[in-house]
Amino acid sequence: MLTFEDLKKILTLNYREEDVKLIVKAFHFASEAHKGQKRRTGEDYIYHAIATAYNLAQMKMDIASIAAGLLHDVPEDTDFTFEDLKSNFGSEIHNLVKGVTKLGTLKYRGMERYAENLRKMFLAMSQDLRVIIIKLADRIHNMETLDGVRPEKRLRIAQETLEIYAPLANRLGMFRIKNQLEDLAFPYVYPEEYKWTMSLIADRLKSEAKYIEEIKKLTQKELTKHNIEINSIRGRVKGIYSLYKKLLRKGKDVNKIYDLIALRIVLKEVADCYSAMGILHKKWTPLKGRVKDYIAQPKPNGYKSLHTSVFTDFSKIVEIQIRTVEMDEEAEYGVAAHSKYKEVGMLGKGKKQLKWLDHLMEIQKTITDNTEFIKHIKNDLFLDQIFVFTPKGDVVELPENATPLDFAYYIHSDIGSKCVGAKINNQMTSLETKLKSGDVVEIITDKNRKQPNADWLHMVATNMAKNKIRSQLNKK
């Protein structure tokens, strides 16, 4: 169980003395407000507030967010009001707590009945992304203590976590949080599938953990020999839920999983990353098609890293990720890693929104029917995403099962309606071909073509493309 002393230790390392004083004040206020309150686990309520604030401090969030994490349940669960918070801590912390409180008003009964809460969530995110980050920090501790909750509520919270909060963390580039939430929810939502996955990999994990240590030593020795300064080098075990989904895609064959344990190398400079990859490719043969440069071409959510898979001395394949310290922080905590730039608008009202969040806000305004709204959200937000490229190297993010037509309509309505063919990786292909991550897509158009084909409605995966096709057909 985390204590306030644990929180103070992490704060003292990363924050100014006056910031720590504000958190001490917030702690005493929250302690007084929650005095005598117990959680179903039997622990004093204040420990949940401390854990939420600790999670935010680990992400190196700004001090207002950490204070709001300590205070987030005060107005809802105690006699103290929002006005009490405002008079003691100012309008910024008051607004953050208010935003978090608004998100917890509706019980989850499946996504179809969750539309209004999702609308509130996206609106809060568009105004200040810190609100959803605080909610994610709160949800992690709720999931860690889920055993203390009655069974039917436990399942509801776990489903909401798996179907709503984990995908949101993923979209925000917060991969550590996404994996934590998925792995905490998995055994409650799919207990049999969880047991099957764990039994399948138990022996493999033991053997791979041993050889990844050997690979780590050899890698360290090789890089040091070439004067590459290493910040850290460690084995990273794939998330259990993420592994389960990959097993389903690979026909449940665990031998087709190459990244059960990956080696993550964190270096000082970008140039060192490319040098390190060259050195390791000289030592071990890379697998064809498994070398990916997300530094030169980052994913749309900002993820940057070099990825390669190599044949090692042990006749085994290992995935290696190479990145800088800054890239590693951003890969772990996504948009939260940018909180230090809040003063220039990254998380405040003037921030430049993520493109998918702009798209969500557009859906909010234009689609009033909740059933239709949920359809859009499911397709365009919560499906697994792929990353494809334009011929100029720009990255386009689309849901799995997207086709060249989805790509064309994503670029522009006119490109879509005038589309007569497509090339994938310089090869002519059908318009209904399913795209894969890393594909380079070129759309061939005919300026004389005025309208889309009605059959296209069955070829596209995104609601955005379907709506544009319908709109153009209706005009005809």
Catalytic residues: 76-77
Distances (CA, A) of 26 to 21, 31, 55, 78, 90: 9, 8, 16, 15, 12
The stretches of 304-379 forming alpha helices (DSSP H) are 325-333, 355-366, 370-377
> Is the sign of the CA dihedral 160, 164, 167, 173 positive or negative?
negative
237 - beta bridge partners? 261
Distances (CA, A) of 218 to 224, 284, 400: 10, 11, 37
Can you tell me the distance from the alpha carbon of 331 to that of 450, in angstroms, rounded to the nearest whole number?
Answer: 43
Can you tell me the distance from the alpha carbon of 387 to that of 439, in angstroms, rounded to the nearest whole number?
Answer: 8
**Virtual torsion, Cα 87, 88, 93, 98, nearest 10 deg:** -60
Can you tell me the distance from the alpha carbon of 476 to that of 470, in angstroms, rounded to the nearest whole number?
Answer: 10
Chain-centroid distance, C-alpha 187: 20
Can you tell me the distance from the alpha carbon of 237 to that of 367, in angstroms, rounded to the nearest whole number?
Answer: 41
233 - beta bridge partners? 265
HEC profile of 17-55 = HHHHHHHHHHHHHHHHHCCCCECCCCCECHHHHHHHHHH
Q: Which residues of 438-452 are buried (b: 16+ CB within 10 A; e: fewer)?
A: ebebbbeeeeeeeeb
Q: What percent of the residues of the chain are helix, what percent strand, and what percent coil, each to the nearest 5?
A: 60, 15, 30
Can you tell me the distance from the alpha carbon of 391 to that of 186, in angstroms, rounded to the nearest whole number?
Answer: 39
HEC profile of 371-398 = HHHHHHHHHHHHCCEEEEECCCCCEEEE
* Under 8 Å between Cβ of 473 and 445: no
Can you tell me the distance from the alpha carbon of 300 to that of 173, in angstroms, rounded to the nearest whole number?
Answer: 9
Q: Which residues of 250-281 are buried (b: 16+ CB within 10 A; e: fewer)?
A: eeeeeeebbbbbbbbbbbeebebbbbbbebbe
Token couple for 107: 């019980």
Say which residues have a Cβ less than 8 Å from residue 228's Cβ, sequence separation at least 6. Answer: 267, 272, 275, 276, 279
